[in-house]
Amino acid sequence: MTAATSGVQRLGGPALFVFLWSTGFVGAKYGLPYAEPFTFLGVRLLVAAVLLGLIAVALRSAGMAARPQYGRAAVVGLLLHAGYLGGVFYAISLGIPAGVSAVVVSLQPVLTAVLAARVLGEHPTPRQWLGLCLGVVGVALVVGPGIAAAGGSATAYSTTGLVACLIALGSGTAGTVYQKRHGDGIPLVWGTAVQYAAASALLFAVAATTEEMTIRWTGEFVAALVWLVLGLSLGAVLLLLLLLRRGTASSVSSLYYLVPPAVAVEAYLLFGERVSALSLVGIAVTALGVALVVVAPRISPSGTG
């Protein structure tokens, strides 16, 4: 196998993750009109937990080796799923545009790199720091025209919604670093099932005190739920956990930069939403930033680079 072929295969997992994760926007757009955010997410994660449990039993997957693993898996679930997804869904349900939430959450790779340096001993190179900063600039260029077209500055949006975005940002960052530090020894399938069970329990508890917990089981809602469970909760999240086991927290989290550009392209293809020239420039800048973070520099045979 050539080095080029190996490199392409290594990029296959991250590319698939970006595609799957970006389609969560489509699922949210179709599903949220028929269910409140915490109820919607609680049902989604509960179904995913049950399915993963059945899969683990059918495949005779390795179970939890020690009681502390249950607690660690639950913490990851509360942060990555209840905190991150709950914050984003709640913000969108309050009218925060997806572009605004994307700008806020796009700070996650930078925060992850800073936190990983302190907690995990990971130290991004100057080249990677440049890539992280370019990622923020690129995402802003992608979503900026949409925000301007909406006619709103941040002050026009719900303060509660913006706080929800910040909670999602903090939860996603902490969850990524915690998973990288404690997740390698936790069985993948059973561990993820525990994550979802813990997250769904918290989401249902919040829903019971803040929502009516009613769902209109339309065809669109069912289709959105099925895709979010299979494509996102099973496909994308399991792939994310695998990527975290193989790469650094900062390099894996930088893939989130590519999600807003991917959403912009999908919105154009599926809903006819135009992509401006500035957004196209932003997509290119974002791709360059991620490449600087995740693609190792070429080393010559002599080792001089």
Tell me the domain boundaries of the chain: 3-294
Flag the least confident range among 11-15, 144-148, 160-164: 144-148
pLDDT digit string, tens, across residues 125-142: 787 778 778 877 877 776
pLDDT grade, residue 295 (50/70/90)? Answer: low
- Asked if residues 131 and 297 have their Cβ atoms less than 8 Å apart, the reply is no
- Token look-up 């080792």 returns 303
Identify which of 86, 92, 84, 108 has the alpha carbon closest to the alpha carbon of residue 39.
86
Most trustworthy range by pLDDT among 106-110, 170-174, 205-209: 205-209
The alpha carbon dihedral of 83, 85, 86, 92 has a sign of: positive
pLDDT digit string, tens, across residues 44-86: 999 999 998 998 888 777 666 567 788 888 999 999 899 998 9
Amino acid at 52: L
pLDDT digit string, tens, across residues 278-292: 777 877 787 777 677
Model confidence, pTM = 0.73
